[in-house]
Amino acid sequence: MIGGATYPATGGPQASFGLKDWVAVDLGGNVNAVDGKWGMAYAGPRFTLAQARTRRIRIAGDLELGAGIGVGGCNGCKNDGSQRDGISWPDRLAGGGYQGLGLGLHVSWFALYVRGRVEESVARNIPLTLWSSAMLGLDFTIKKLAVINLGGGYLGYQNSSERVALWFYEVGVAFYFDLKPKG
């Protein structure tokens, strides 16, 4: 999955492991080494309530929760991007959590979805930062083997010293692998 505000500046791999039809574990990472200079790895459960996949038209809802750990971040950077406190971004330990809700309408090989998410992060010498996002997306399933997704929406963050709001986009491809033997 890659995405950004005006160019592909942030992205990384994600894998979801379905434990049951209604619960999966998401693992992944995001890196931004262009302007914000940070990287985070995350993990958490995703709970899904969905109508049977055999239905041509169906509705699905997701609840996601998780935690992350990484490095980087900037609070009050100088104009040249350097840190005012002298700590370079790879040496700044960071951590946080996330919670999100999604709702999708699936019609055969096409899906329309909305998602909202709140993320909290904190790093050395950087105050608690709240990230919020809301997006609208489209999925296109290819022969039940892969999904191409396109989406975009609002992204904002705020802490005690700054507040930023902008638009973002996401582009991704997901592949299905059934690891459970048939029969």
Residues 76-125: tens digit of each pLDDT: 665 555 667 778 778 889 999 999 999 999 999 999 999 999 999 998 88
Start-to-end CA distance of the chain, whole Å, equals 33
102 within a domain of the structure (yes/no): no
Global pTM value: 0.81
Percent of the chain scoring above 70 in pLDDT: 85
72 is in which domain, residue-wise?
2-44+67-95+121-175
How many domains does the chain divide into?
1
Q: What is the distance between the alpha carbons of residues 24 and 18, in angstroms, rounded to a whole number?
A: 4
103 within a domain of the structure (yes/no): no
71 within a domain of the structure (yes/no): yes
160 within a domain of the structure (yes/no): yes
The answer to whether 30 and 12 have CB atoms below 8 angstroms apart is yes
137 within a domain of the structure (yes/no): yes
The structure tokens 């309530």 sit at 49
29 within a domain of the structure (yes/no): yes
